[in-house]
Each structure stands twice: as structure tokens, then as C-alpha cells.
Amino acid sequence: MKPNKISEAVVRRLPIYLRYLTHLQQMHVHTVSSQQIGKTLDINPAQIRKDLNAFGDFGKKGIGYDVGYLIEKIKQILKINQEIRVALVGVGHLGHAICNHNAYKRDNMRIVAAFDNDPKKQGETVAGLTIQPLDEMNQTIAEKQIRLAIITVPATAAQHVADLLIEAGIEGILNFAPVTIRTTQDVTIHHTDVTSSLQSLAFYLN
Amino acid sequence: MKPNKISEAVVRRLPIYLRYLTHLQQMHVHTVSSQQIGKTLDINPAQIRKDLNAFGDFGKKGIGYDVGYLIEKIKQILKINQEIRVALVGVGHLGHAICNHNAYKRDNMRIVAAFDNDPKKQGETVAGLTIQPLDEMNQTIAEKQIRLAIITVPATAAQHVADLLIEAGIEGILNFAPVTIRTTQDVTIHHTDVTSSLQSLAFYLN
């Protein structure tokens, strides 16, 4: 099925399934039902079956899903069965936290370059990476075959940084700056904004 | 309309509309069409009209929305037309970043307490807040009338911390730990996980 036929909500649930399935695998659990996944993740089992059925017939009726097989399939669907290199721009507290977190993960998404426009930070290291100036972005992204980028700069700088990244050939951006990034190019941009997340949480207050 | 009749996707878009409308207000723009909002935010204008119509008839046909009026209405819907106090647990790099960010914002969501189980951090200050031990959580949350919490602890500690927060009377949790938090209580939990966000972004790679 083509990516554009799948809703973003489904695409955002797949990593959640993957995380739980990986946990099960570590616990040496070999088979799991949509009921069990649903109970743990607080998602309707019918929704889970529908999400997965959009990509193929992975389960066995009355038995459930083979954990290892489903992990491989979801990794294929998400295209993370290959190494994907990531750049991070803006090494403040948040950028720091993300680099450190990434350094000890054992998956295929890897931050391999960090940039900051502050000369005082350039040359310092974060999670084993030397912080580089923004004018090295083009060359580094090409040389290291970096495909995704994380933006953790202030709101006022985010659009400019995104433009530079897209010009350098980045295919997708995860933006933490509290501003909507626009592009005419064929680049996927996801926004993660703490303020917006808190505001949507407030909706559910009694 | 009752909160449970509104999809989470809609609730997550409202803060995005609010951010853009606030930007327009700062630019002294008084009226805006769903077309203009849609173009800027890269959302279908029909979707925007549908989202807002679920709560009331805020626009004028052929004219559009009054910016100031719509801001007030969305704040009412999100319940952020009142001050909402927030606690943060886990003052690592990420917790630090969020506290600092929150300190200079001019809105009604305010982090008023920060907790960490590391005795070396307790007593230090972050963004003007004194970091407190976890066993002061119950009393502080009651005294300061804190209603929401942000969890920025490691995955292994997240469920325990959530249980403590819920016991202390917290009504909603924004969880940054890469683990699904479960609860039997009537508490809304939103998950924000950098790894999952990156993985769902990879889906859109060519």
C-alpha cells in the first residue's frame, strides 16, 4: 500500500506496537493476540487488527501474531530495517537530551551529526559528536548520507534552519520548535511541541 | 460537546490553530479565513472548519473568523483560559529544557514544582524552582493545586512515578519516557517519544 493511502494516525501507532513487541521479545514471549496488545497499550484490539491488515495478513486466527515476524514486518513498513542517519540542529538542553538518549539506543536510527550556530559550542562534543557550525551542514549531510533531521533551535530560527536542511537534501524533519515549518518541497515535517501537548492535555481536565 | 465525543486528533490540532491565531493577533491581523489558516498550517481548510464547527459557529460566511474572538473560544475549549499548574518529575537534560522553556512563556500553563529522586539534585534550582524529593510530591501537589504533570524520568521509573502522581491527585500526564504508562484511574495520559516520532517519520522516506 502506498504511503499516502495510510493515515498519519496509523503511522504514529506502528512505533508504539513495535516498542511493545520488542519488549515481549526480550521477555521471550513468542505469540501475542491483538487483545493482549490492546489491553497493554490501551488501544481497541479491532483498531490494531485494522492497522496491521492495511499492510498484510500477519496474524493467525485464534492464535494471534508471531512476535518476531511482526517485529520484522513493522520494521520493514517503517523502513527502519535499514540504518537511517539523522542530523540534529540546536544543541541546547533539549538537543543535548536527545543526543544523549540516542547514543545508548540500540536501533537503526542514529544521530551522526550535531550543529549549532553558537561559536562557543562549536568544537565541543555531545554524546561523542563534535558540534559543527551550520555552514558545514551541506557537506556533512551529503558525505554522511544523512536523511532525517531534528530541529531543536528557538522558534525564530526554525524556518531558516529547515530551509537549509531541505536544501542540503534532508527528506524528513522532526521539529521541536514551537512554530509551524512550511515547505514547498516533498519533505515530511512532524511537529512536537511541549506547549501544544500540554494544552491538548488540559482539554481533558474535569 | 462532551470531551469524549471529540477525537484526540482534533484536540491536538486546536493548540496549533491557537498558536497561529496568537501570531496573527501580534501582527494586528483581525480577520482570517480557513483558507489562510489552512495554507499556513498545511491543513485542509474544510478540516479546519469541521474541527471548529464541532464546538460552535465561530466564523462568518464570506468573511472568516474574528481572530481575537476565536482565540478566546479555543482557550475556553482547551480550558486554558484559567491558570493550570504543572509539576515536572525528572530533572535531567530534557526536564531542564522543559522547565527553562516554560519559565519565559506568557501563558496559563505553568510548571510550579520540579521533582527528582537524585539527592545531589535536590535543593538545586531549575528555572527558579527548587528541585524537591519525590516524597514531597503528595503535599506539594495538594498545596499548590497542581493538576497536570510532565514525566521526564528514565523508562524504568516512569510507571512508578505515574502511580505516585495519580495517587497524589494529578488529572493528566504528559509522558516523555519511552514506555506506555497504564492506569485504571480516570487520568488522561499523552505520550511523546522521540524514538517513536523519528520512526514514524522514516515511513515517509522515499
Nearest CA in chain B to A194: B98
How far apart are the C-alpha atoms of B115 and B132, rounded to whole Å? 5
- CB within 8 A of B184, min separation 6: which ones? none
CB distance B11–A200 less than 8 Å? yes
Which CATH number covers residue A21?
1.10.10.10
How far apart are the C-alpha atoms of B39 and B43, rounded to whole Å? 7
Residues A113 and A72 in one domain: no
| Domain closes at, from B13, B48, B78 | B78
Residues A101 and A72 in one domain: no
Residues A31 and A53 in one domain: yes
Question: Does A162 score more than 90 pLDDT?
Answer: yes
Residue A83 at interface with chain B, using a CB cutoff of 8 Å: no
Each residue of A88-101: pLDDT tens digit? 999 998 899 889 88
Instruction: For residue B12, give the nearest of A3, A18, A200 by CB distance.
Output: A200
Query: What is the pLDDT, as a whole number, of residue A45?
Result: 93
Each residue of A81-133: pLDDT tens digit? 999 999 999 999 889 988 988 776 767 889 999 999 999 999 999 999 999 99
Residue B202: inside a domain: no
Residues A122 and A142 in one domain: yes
CB distance B192–A196 less than 8 Å? no
At B38, the pLDDT band (50, 70, 90 cuts) reads very high
Contacts of B79 in chain A (CB under 8 A): 202-203, 205
The H or E element spanning position A66 is: strand A64-66
Residues A56 and A139 in one domain: no
Each residue of B53-93: pLDDT tens digit? 999 989 888 889 999 999 999 999 999 999 999 999 999 98
Query: What is the pLDDT, as a whole number, of residue A6?
Result: 83
Instruction: For residue B200, give the nearest of A11, A195, A201 by CB distance.
Output: A11
* CA A121 to each of CA A102, A116, A176, B36, B133: distance values in angstroms, whole numbers, following the listed order: 19, 7, 20, 39, 32
Helix locations, chain B, DSSP H = 8-26, 34-41, 45-53, 67-78, 93-103, 137-143, 155-167, 194-202
Residues A88 and A124 in one domain: yes
- How many pairs of residues across A and B have Cβ atoms under 8 Å apart? 189
Residues A102 and A69 in one domain: no
Each residue of A181-194: pLDDT tens digit? 988 778 999 888 88
How far apart are the C-alpha atoms of B189 and A16, rounded to whole Å? 14
Residues B48 and B146 in one domain: no
Query: What is the pLDDT, as a whole number, of residue B1?
Result: 44
Cell numbers for A85, please give them: 542517519
Instruction: For residue B105, give the nearest of A3, A195, A197 by CB distance.
Output: A195
Q: How many domains does chain A contain in total? A: 2
What is the complex's ipTM, to 2 decimals?
0.85
CB distance A206–B171 less than 8 Å? yes
Beta bridge partners of residue A132, listed in sequence order:
A115
CB distance A188–B201 less than 8 Å? yes
Cell numbers for A203, please give them: 482539554
Nearest CA in chain B to A206: B171
CB A151 within 8 A of CB A174: yes
Residue A78 at interface with chain B, using a CB cutoff of 8 Å: yes
Residues 136-175 of B with CB under 8 A from A: 147-148, 150, 171-174
What is the least distance, in Å, from the CA of A147 to any CA of chain B? 8
CB B134 within 8 A of CB B161: yes
What is the least distance, in Å, from the CA of B63 to any CA of chain A? 24
Which CATH number covers residue A156?
3.40.50.720
The H or E element spanning position B173 is: strand B172-175
What is the least distance, in Å, from the CA of B26 to any CA of chain A? 14
Helix locations, A33-108, DSSP H = 34-41, 45-53, 67-78, 93-103
CB distance B15–A193 less than 8 Å? yes
CB distance A174–B196 less than 8 Å? no
CB distance B107–A195 less than 8 Å? yes
Residue B108: inside a domain: yes
- CB within 8 A of B162, min separation 6: which ones? B151, B173, B175, B181, B183, B189
How far apart are the C-alpha atoms of B22 and B65, rounded to whole Å? 13
How far apart are the C-alpha atoms of B32 and B178, rounded to whole Å? 39
Number of neighbouring beta carbons within 10 Å of residue A7: 12
Residues A172 and A102 in one domain: yes
The residue ranking higher by pLDDT, B19 or B42, is B19
Query: What is the pLDDT, as a whole number, of residue B106?
Result: 67
- Structural domain span for residue B177: 84-197
pTM of the full structure: 0.83
Instruction: For residue A198, give the nearest of B174, B180, B199 by CB distance.
Output: B174
* Pairing mode, strands B31-32 and B64-66: antiparallel
Contacts of B9 in chain A (CB under 8 A): 9
